[in-house]
């Protein structure tokens, strides 16, 4: 009769941990990725369902497409986007410093001297879409419209300079394919 091999104790707890990890890690990954995917869809749905300004920065893609380089340090940033077959429009408002306003205008190819005092360049029907009151006679306005090339959007800028140390900027960028 052959001798029995030496007894090797089974480490059941090691096997149990390995099996548990082989099941738990992929399951946890599936739950986490599913939750993230669901949140992503809800964010997009919330943005698409907006009917007025959303007080948050527009995405980098929106800022690039519509040519609206909001300066760093801007506050009270709000945006609203509309799309149709004929035209797409991004409405943006923010408050900034006089220096950053100059940087913003230069990035669009104009400057502070390009602003026409007493001029509101955003038409009333555009202002009404997001509830802006740009006809308030107690405010000081300055505006400019920038059309860099036919392929780029037309950017209408109206600045409330009532508080010159903290101008409020209203932008309507319209792209027509």
Alpha carbon distance 73, 95 (integer Å): 9
Residues β-bridged to residue 170: 93, 158
The answer to whether the Cα torsion of 37, 38, 43, 48 is positive or negative is positive
**Residue boundaries of the structural domains of the chain:** 8-49, 51-175
Alpha-carbon distances of 120 from 59, 71, 77, 117, rounded to whole Å:
26, 21, 20, 9
In this prediction, residue 78 carries a pLDDT of 95
In this prediction, residue 52 carries a pLDDT of 79
Q: How confident is the model at residue 16 (pLDDT cuts 50, 70, 90)?
A: confident
pLDDT at 44 over 70: no
DSSP line for 52-74: S-BSSPPPHHHHHHTT--PPTT-
Q: What is the mean pLDDT of residues 142-151?
A: 89
What is the share, in percent, of the chain residues with pLDDT greater than 70?
Answer: 89
Alpha carbon distance 143, 127 (integer Å): 14
Q: Are 154 and 147 in contact (CB under 8 A)?
A: yes
Chain centroid to CA 39 = 17
In this prediction, residue 90 carries a pLDDT of 95
- pTM exceeding 0.75: no
Q: Are 67 and 173 in contact (CB under 8 A)?
A: yes
Chain centroid to CA 90 = 10
In this prediction, residue 36 carries a pLDDT of 78
Q: How confident is the model at residue 1 (pLDDT cuts 50, 70, 90)?
A: low
Higher pLDDT, residue 120 or 12: 120
Q: What is the pLDDT of residues 91-119, one digit of tens each?
A: 999 999 999 999 999 999 999 999 999 99
Written as six digits, the tokens of 156 are 């209408």
Q: What is the pLDDT of residues 134-146, one digit of tens each?
A: 999 999 999 999 9
Distance between the two ends of the chain, CA-based, in angstroms? 90
Q: Are 71 and 101 in contact (CB under 8 A)?
A: yes
In this prediction, residue 31 carries a pLDDT of 86
Give me the chain's average pLDDT, please.
88
């Amino acid at each position: 009769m052959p001798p029995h091999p030496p007894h090797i104790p089974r480490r059941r707890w090691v096997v149990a941990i390995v099996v548990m990890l082989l099941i738990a890690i992929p399951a946890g990954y599936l739950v986490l990725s599913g939750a993230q995917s669901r949140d992503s869809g809800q964010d997009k749905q919330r943005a698409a369902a907006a009917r007025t300004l959303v007080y948050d920065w527009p995405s980098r893609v929106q800022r690039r497409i519509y040519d609206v380089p909001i300066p760093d340090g801007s506050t009270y940033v709000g945006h609203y986007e509309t799309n149709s077959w004929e035209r797409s429009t991004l409405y943006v408002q923010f408050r900034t410093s006089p220096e950053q306003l100059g940087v913003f205008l230069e990035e669009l190819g104009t400057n502070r001297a390009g602003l026409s005092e007493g001029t509101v360049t955003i038409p009333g029907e555009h202002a009404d879409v997001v509830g802006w009151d740009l006809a308030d006679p107690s405010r000081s306005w300055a505006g400019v419209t920038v059309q860099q090339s036919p392929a780029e959007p037309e950017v209408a800028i109206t600045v409330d300079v009532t508080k010159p140390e903290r101008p409020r900027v209203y932008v309507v960028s319209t792209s027509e394919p």
